[in-house]
Chain A
Amino acid sequence: MSSTNGLVIAVPRGALFEPTLAWLGELGIETDELRSNERKLLFRDLGLITMRPSDVPTYVAAGAADLGITGKDVLMEQTDSALPGVGRDVYELVDLGFGRCMMVLATTDGADPAAEALRRLGVVRVATKYPRIAARYFEATGRQVEIIEVKGSVELAPLTGLVEAIVDLTASGKTLRENHLVVREEIAVCTARLIANPVAHKLKAAAIDELLERARAA
């Protein structure tokens, strides 16, 4: 049996990749092959698969992976609070603490164009890769918003007049500063989470608990 106790773990590529491998390493799970082979996605012998962070909940929810590591931002964006109780896709087991970022509302510096738009036009236009988080946040704070979903560099949108504000994830704030954007409001702190398939959590309880025990001890 491999050091994942026979479990399949979904590992995110991208910013969370290195800290995730370090965490798995602390549990005694072999990860060198993942580092050396960037094109390979499936490491069956190791019990590991690699993918974009936003795909991790999809694989875990379907049971194609038993466990996965992804950002809280991904989980928040993929949760639909409008339908509470309809299915439990994945269990959120542990806050792993690494990959710490802040979900923020940012605008160009100087006078706040979002406040100005709200006052004079009654609605603020917001560009984001996280349409649900942004919509929920504006609804929860009682403001009208027009969400514009973009796939690429969100920073471009307020600089070109497409929107008055953006909702985005920032680690150091460097990209925002370079584009003369300032954080106006902090929406949520996002860290990496260990998630589990609900059925695997029941049927492979011993394997999962032993892994969590190793994580606590590490």
Chain B
Amino acid sequence: MIHPIPSGTRDVLPDEMRELRAITERLRDVFNEADYGEVYTPALEYEAVVTRGELAGVRPAYRVFDENGNVLVLRSDMTVPIARVVATRYPTAEPPLRFCYFAHSYRGVRPQRGQPREFLQAGLELIGAAAPRGTAEALTVLCRSLDAVGLARYRVGLGDATLYPALLESLGVAAADCERLLEALARGDFVGLEHGLRELETDEESIRLLLAVPQLRGGADVLHGPPGPVADAVAGLRAVHALLDADVAEHVIFDLGLSRLPGYYTGAVFEVYDPALGMPLGGGGRYDNLLGEFGRSLPAVGFALEVDRLHLALAAEERL
């Protein structure tokens, strides 16, 4: 008898499980070594709790009612639940706090695409460590983790979520237009971005700047190019870069066009690439305002890696 399972979900059998387990064990060793304590939180949360504030994360895709009529959601990431844990369980603990996790999260899928509804993330959150030192620590553990997994050719793209909004604001673009333009940038729709900019009736020089900045990506030399309005964000990236050891820095590429969803990022953002795979392996960034939404205002940074994608990239690198 064949019994179906929902699209976007899958069974893992022993041969694959052994390989996945080997990856997560190596990650766990690195996280332990760096003093990150492992936590687990419920897959189900109250919707009212995880969507509080203006800084909502990825909108949860699955909702159920409990016996009292409360709306429960399946978590869409681990960052928001850990923010809740910090505010609730560690209201007075001396920061910094270091947590790591290996947990499944749940997101909606596009029809006709092989995207998972349920996926295993391995990640960490560093709470109460401000930029640039906290960011540099997270990037260092990230690179050590990818080294330990056995990936040789990965790169970490490093950008700043405030860079493009600051640039738009400095050029006097109205808030309503900013939202539309940032959305085009987040989609990677550079044609839409240009069309949107042309409609603003701003001067040609500003348009050229607004089109050129998100295309600046590569080695540390891109941090020397861009002028005035983005200087703060770029100085922040330079400060992070200066704190990285050489064996970490050699994996970092700078990307002034990098913008990441969800919308709670407030500074440095990063994304992990491997030439063997057409999609990012994971990513993260600073979210200095999220903890405040839960009543314990602390700067924070974190990242999450998708274990299945690490596995795919590892398999593909082995074939090369």
Contacts and interface: CB of A to CB of B under 8 A. Distances in A.
Contacts of B255: 202
Interface string A31-73: 0000000000000000000000000000001111000000000
B187 A88 contact: yes
Interface stretch (B22-30, B67-75, B123-131, B271-279): B271-279
Contacts of B217: 201-202, 205
Contact of A199 (B187, B190, B191, B277): B277
Given A63-B278, A203-B273, A203-B275, A92 B192 contact: yes
Interface residues of B, number: 34
Interface string A166-204: 000000000000000000000000000100111111110
A86 B110 contact: yes
Given A63-B278, A199-B279, A209-B215, A85 B191 contact: no
A36 B21 CA distance: 51
Contacts of A202: 155, 157, 217, 253, 255, 271, 273
Interface residues of A, number: 29
A92 B188 contact: yes
Nearest to B183: A84
B279 A63 contact: yes
Interface in A72-106: 80, 83-88, 90-95
Contact of B110 (A83, A94, A197, A206): A83
A199 B261 contact: no
B277 A87 contact: no
B115 interface: yes
Given A61-B278, A199-B280, A202-B157, A94 B253 contact: no
A197 B188 CA distance: 10
Given A202-B217, A205-B217, A205-B218, A93 B275 contact: no
A93 B191 contact: yes
Contacts of B108: 83, 86
Contacts of A205: 217-218, 253
Nearest to A91: B188
Nearest to A191: B191
Given A91-B188, A197-B278, A205-B218, A85 B110 contact: no
Interface of A: 61-64, 80, 83-88, 90-95, 193, 196-203, 205-206, 209
Among all A-B residue pairs, the 3 with the closest Cβ atoms = A63-B278, A91-B188, A85-B261
7 contacts: A86-B107, A88-B186, A88-B188, A93-B191, A94-B190, A196-B188, A197-B278
